[in-house]
Amino acid sequence: MGIQDSALRTERGTRDSGPGNWSPTPDRIPTPPPTPDPLIYYRPSLFDLNIVSLLVSFAVLLISLSVHEFAHAWTADRFGDPTPRFHGRVSLNPVVHIDPLGTLLLPLLAIASGAPIIGWAKPVPVNVGRLRRHQRDFLIVAAAGPVSNLMLAVIASMLIRATTGGGGLDRMLFLAFQLNLLLAVFNLIPIPPLDGGNILGSLLSGNLADGFNRLRPYGFLLLYVLLLTGTLGYILGPPYFFLSRVLRP
């Protein structure tokens, strides 16, 4: 998630995405069961974690969301659209990516209450019409966010293997591994306004594209239904467990 066509209106309509990077996080990576179980979400609480752990959890989330949005902005800028640069989004500074509700209030309330952490950053404005090869480049811009989180998960895994083991640093790196792996998998779900929805929309044409774009206003409603019914865990579980086995520290 996290990119937004800010200007182009075509016969296929405008590709608008909502707030980006909604992120429930797991509390551990269990051994994959024979059949997929619902994903276990990370639920830190003020009642069972100290303030340092809570702040570290929030900091890891903030950095991960910022890298995700920076990847969208930098890629769009490289492919010819200066819109993200004009808005100051080609930056790793978390301040420029913060959404007061999705990046600050809701994650902190979730941490304090022990609920699953959900959050998002401000979507990056992208003018598809200014990209050199409109549909192909928009697909790459959309994929850049999840790819950046996958790269962070790989880096965290490598650093965990390189450390001596134990201690606060290992716990922080393992949290970064879990969170970024889940961010990558979650954002590739092909439901708009997630990045997976933007990728799929870029591959469609004609009536299929028009019909798919009409689903965009209802994308978040569908995601909440999947979350509240527990279906989301069954969707995320198989690819998450597969990647965790491949990349596991």
Residues with catalytic annotation? 69
| Three state DSSP letters for 143-163 | HHHHHHHHHHHHHHHHHHHHC
Question: Could you say which DSSP state residue 7 is in?
Answer: S
| Three state DSSP letters for 84-111 | HHHCCCCCCCHHHHCCHHHHHHHHHHHH
β-bridge mates for residue 200, sequence order: none
Closest CA to 121 of 83, 45, 70, 77: 70
Instruction: Give the Cα separation of 58 and 75 in Å (integer).
Output: 26
Instruction: Give the Cα separation of 238 and 98 in Å (integer).
Output: 31
Instruction: Give the Cα separation of 59 and 62 in Å (integer).
Output: 5
The SS3 call for residue 181 is helix
Other CB atoms within 10 Å distance of the CB of residue 109: 12
In contact, 76 and 131? CB cutoff 8 Å: yes
